[in-house]
Structure 1
């Protein structure tokens, strides 16, 4: 794959303030590598020879919530189709769909948010993990780094395309311990055999966008595919005490118990709920 160089508004401002020569990290801080960029004749010259006019860099500098990339031209890391999808220059990036961010970014960052969720169920060496809603894949990557084998599901092909662009998502497609499945988790879960997974990490979109992923029917499938003694983490978020006059976390916990989960409890630091499938014989 040819090198792709990423620019944030902060990077663009550094280019504008440079005196003709500057070293920048161009992979959204995924590594510590830097590249020298020169200003020649009013254009910035990138390592692959791409020349970018000062006016373009000035526009990027004013666009605080968007990631750009350089590859024989300058492009937004965004997709406009039936909705508007883009990478947002948090470190690591989050994805924004129609103005809604898919990770917690207030008082935390997407990487710490991911670690809090994964720590709630602690997947270990050789375990199998079902990650129901991939997004940019940070959860799947973190679980795989701990030695687990992961199947991660993503319904939206536009999200998968942004993950392919994002340098922080690269291990989804190159790490060898992760299988990406495109489809609706509600349907895909039914294909797995009973007792296939040690851990399920369920991080669905908000209830108003994916109500069936909060349903008792779907929870039965998660219970079925977990091995006895298996652990579930369910992200709920912080919808306020009442969501449309319903206590969302309480409703989630009640439905999990009804389908057979035990030791159901909140994990405040991860804004979610953990539960277990009873061990065999209990």
Structure 2
């Protein structure tokens, strides 16, 4: 299947202002490349021959919060199922599930947010990393760029479907140093042998949606699969802290300590905590 062109309100407005078509970026600014969209009989013709009416472009131009796919038709990059999922045209894109963004975008962007998380454990050349909750895959891609071999797990097939059409995440599906596993990481982690990973990046959904991924039993599994000296970064965020004086990070740190992690401390810039499995005693 050929990859679709990606269209946002920005490109739609450029085309609507043109007299005979224009060159626009159609990969959510992953590259500086531009594609020629021509006009004929009042319709806009994309490079694959897809014809898009002015009325459709006007609708897209007014929708700042969505991404549209163009390939033999025009479709919103969204999926309605048990939840409502859509790509959001931040650069790089984030994903919304029921209106909740899966990356920090206020005062930062998904790429900077990802780098802060990966910097917390500094994966190195030849190391093996578990990325527990893939999302759009930026964490796995960033760790692989630093030389690590990454296994990334995603429970939701709808999230994987949107990751596949996102130009910023296509490295996930091209082989190389990233292996994508679909399934519930709470169960999948039990399949890994003791000491399988040099590092774990744990960036779960919020506690109210996936409380089991903040449990002592899950942390015990993460401890088991890490090599002695292995590092853990756990994104926690600060939900509730501002309004209810609730410190979720403190509870996470206490449970990590209980299962055996040491060197546990907060990483403010990444809104999470780091911890280490002790080295073997000589």
Partner of 1:70: 70
Partner of 2:168: 168
1:127 corresponds to 2:127: yes
Q: TM-score, normalised by structure 1?
A: 0.97
Partner of 1:199: 199
Counterpart of 1:31 in 2: which secondary structure?
A: coil
Residues 50-105 of structure 1, C-alpha deviation per residue, up to 9 Å, x if partnerless?
11000000000111111001001000111111111000000111000111110001
Partner of 2:229: 229
Residue 36 to residue 180, structure 1, CA distance change in 2 (3 Å): same
1:180 corresponds to 2:180: yes
Residue 31 to residue 189, structure 1, CA distance change in 2 (3 Å): same
Residue 185 to residue 34, structure 1, CA distance change in 2 (3 Å): same
Counterpart of 1:263 in 2: which secondary structure?
A: strand
Partner of 1:53: 53
Corresponding pairs, count: 282
In the alignment, the residues of structure 2 paired with residue 121 and residue 135 of structure 1 have an alpha-carbon distance, to the nearest angstrom, of 19
Partner of 1:28: 28
Partner of 1:272: 272
1:89 corresponds to 2:89: yes
Return structure 1 stretches of 4+ with deviation > 2 angstroms: 240-246
1:10 corresponds to 2:23: no
Q: Which runs of 5+ in 2 are unaligned?
A: none
In the alignment, the residues of structure 1 paired with residue 81 and residue 230 of structure 2 have an alpha-carbon distance, to the nearest angstrom, of 39
1:151 corresponds to 2:148: no
Indicate if the aligned counterparts of 1:242 and 1:248 stay in contact, CA closer than 8 A.
Answer: no
Deviation at 1:256, TM superposition (A): 0.5
Residues 179-205 of structure 1, C-alpha deviation per residue, up to 9 Å, x if partnerless?
111111111111100000000000000
In the alignment, the residues of structure 2 paired with residue 75 and residue 104 of structure 1 have an alpha-carbon distance, to the nearest angstrom, of 26
In the alignment, the residues of structure 1 paired with residue 159 and residue 3 of structure 2 have an alpha-carbon distance, to the nearest angstrom, of 21
Q: Which runs of 5+ in 1 are unaligned?
A: none
Partner of 2:252: 252
Indicate if the aligned counterparts of 2:202 and 2:233 stay in contact, CA closer than 8 A.
Answer: yes
RMSD: 1.2
In the alignment, the residues of structure 1 paired with residue 115 and residue 83 of structure 2 have an alpha-carbon distance, to the nearest angstrom, of 29
Counterpart of 1:135 in 2: which secondary structure?
A: coil
Deviation at 1:240, TM superposition (A): 4.2
Indicate if the aligned counterparts of 2:3 and 2:165 stay in contact, CA closer than 8 A.
Answer: no
Counterpart of 2:193 in 1: which secondary structure?
A: coil
Residues 127-162 of structure 1, C-alpha deviation per residue, up to 9 Å, x if partnerless?
000000000100001001111001111011111111
In the alignment, the residues of structure 2 paired with residue 246 and residue 24 of structure 1 have an alpha-carbon distance, to the nearest angstrom, of 47
In the alignment, the residues of structure 2 paired with residue 114 and residue 246 of structure 1 have an alpha-carbon distance, to the nearest angstrom, of 25
Indicate if the aligned counterparts of 2:127 and 2:198 stay in contact, CA closer than 8 A.
Answer: yes
Deviation at 1:175, TM superposition (A): 3.9
Q: TM-score, normalised by structure 2?
A: 0.97
